[in-house]
Chain A
């Protein structure tokens, strides 16, 4: 199967130094790819390069064989959406207004949202369990509520490929599982391809069909969770000793942390 997103020998970063140093990675249609790695290993930078926020220094990224740098930006955003960790709340839009912004890539300049756009926004709000918040202002929401609203907005773009940068970092365990379950459901039923950064390795193991472990701007190991989440790999990259067990219910790898001090 050919790749949905093909990253070839990619380098890029912020100032003079490259943060991502020659990364190649294929995202296949239907993937639930989780990117893990220590702080500063280049995970977020990769996402920012792949969503055209940062310019590429070297290498290419192809979306369905089309070079993304040459694609029309709105066209690109109808296919690829991005969920950031948080958004600024300086101007207090309502939740509904914010989610409707997800329709911008589908609208022409000055075109007001149609009934259908509102239907789509409403549907995505109920998917993410946010419908009751729809008339609230975004600065009144808790961080967890806001996170789900941002996900709803990205879904309103109706993308084929969804990037998420630590979407569960502000959520309690209930909402973590609920959000990841939702994404898994969209992944399985609607064939939404997902590329997500997660810090929680157990969640990564539980949901991903593929994991890419980043270290110092390169991919240290990529493959199915069982192959990546081994104590050798984790120790080599995170410099931390862990025990790898199996989750008795799901059979997926389960990591136990070992404190240095008792």
Chain B
């Protein structure tokens, strides 16, 4: 009952956020006028952004939850495994080679997947994945790729690079609804997939060996979940670029509200993260309209202090 009430409240808030997202913008259009024919284009564009925001919010946050449980590290986030820098490097390389913008998402997706495969194999030892080596190799690959990005940009920096900026800090400006649909499929399936493992995540977050004693095949489930989070993150990066902190702070805050039980945590966080990203996107396009601030900047500006407060205040996670 308690749980259902909270879900209802969150649904209501998400509804409000969506309406706000539709009405507000560089120009404010009252709700009634939005459906008029001459506002159709704006309405569609905003609707696409909101859909992208919900997708990014729930996808990143649920991936974050899964990785935090698998690694038993509440500070884990989806980019930890090198996806962001891998995608960035691939996209920058594509831009330098003069590939058309059309191929950018594909390059980013492949880059992200390639870097996860690299990180995963670096961390593998005798067929087992140790948490610490996974985190460590993720960090190493990220740093290495990031430095190559800076190296390439400083050598070949030109107008083509300028375009990369939005990408490295994220944007929900999606022009192509087909691409959004294409990305929505793996993301939604991935989220559902992770929810199937909610019970296993509970046990694994207590301890790997402990989960094994409850009949959970930890090594296999870890591999499946790392793959799912990789696909979700890589898919999202290729349309929205890198949007930090969502996968980190929203799960954290929701754990304070509903506790660490993944059966409740995942749906609640899905909704809360969607609200968070829809509102952050709203800020990104209205704060200094008509100039749009990359959404990654907004999530970081809000996220960093919230995170510090959470870290200082409650050791409890």
Contacts and interface: CB of A to CB of B under 8 A. Distances in A.
Interface stretch (A87-95, A176-184, A216-224): A87-95
Contacts of A105: 214-215
B316 interface: yes
Interface string A90-104: 111110011001101
B206 A157 contact: no
Contact of B207 (A78, A81, A87, A110): A87
B263 interface: yes
Contact of B206 (A73, A76, A87, A137): A87
A88 B73 CA distance: 11
A97 B199 contact: no
A104 B215 contact: yes
Contacts of A74: 215
Interface string B194-234: 01111100110111011011111100000000000000000
Given A97-B259, A157-B214, A91 B203 contact: no
A93 B198 contact: no
B196 A109 contact: yes
B210 A93 contact: no
A1 interface: no
Instruction: Indicate the member of B69, B206, B316 with the most A CB atoms within 10 Å.
Output: B206
Contact of A73 (B198, B217, B259, B317): B217
Nearest to A163: B213
Interface residues of B, number: 29
A99 to B, nearest CB: 12
Interface size class of A (residues with CB under 8 A): 20 to 34
A91 B210 contact: no
Nearest to A97: B261
A91 B260 CA distance: 6
Nearest to B72: A90
B74 interface: yes
A84 B209 contact: yes
B215 A92 contact: no
B72 A101 contact: no
Given A110-B198, A137-B316, A91 B214 contact: no
B206 A88 contact: yes
Contact of B210 (A87, A112, A139, A157): A87
Interface string B19-50: 00000000000000000000000000000000
A76 B73 CA distance: 29
Interface in A141-157: 157
A92 B215 CA distance: 21
Contacts of B196: 109-110
Given A90-B72, A109-B199, A98 B206 contact: yes
B215 A76 contact: yes
Contact of A90 (B197, B202, B205, B215): B205
A51 interface: yes
A51 B213 contact: yes
Given A90-B72, A90-B317, A110-B196, A77 B214 contact: yes
Given A104-B215, A105-B214, A91 B74 contact: yes
Contacts of B74: 90-91
A77 B215 contact: yes
Given A97-B261, A101-B202, A112-B263, A88 B213 contact: no
A107 B199 contact: yes
A93 B199 contact: no
A57 interface: no
B218 to A, nearest CB: 10
* Interchain residue pairs A-B with the least CB separation, the first 6: A77-B215, A74-B215, A91-B260, A105-B215, A82-B213, A104-B214
Interface of A: 48, 51-53, 73-78, 81-82, 84, 87-88, 90-94, 97-98, 101-102, 104-105, 107, 109-110, 112, 137, 139, 157
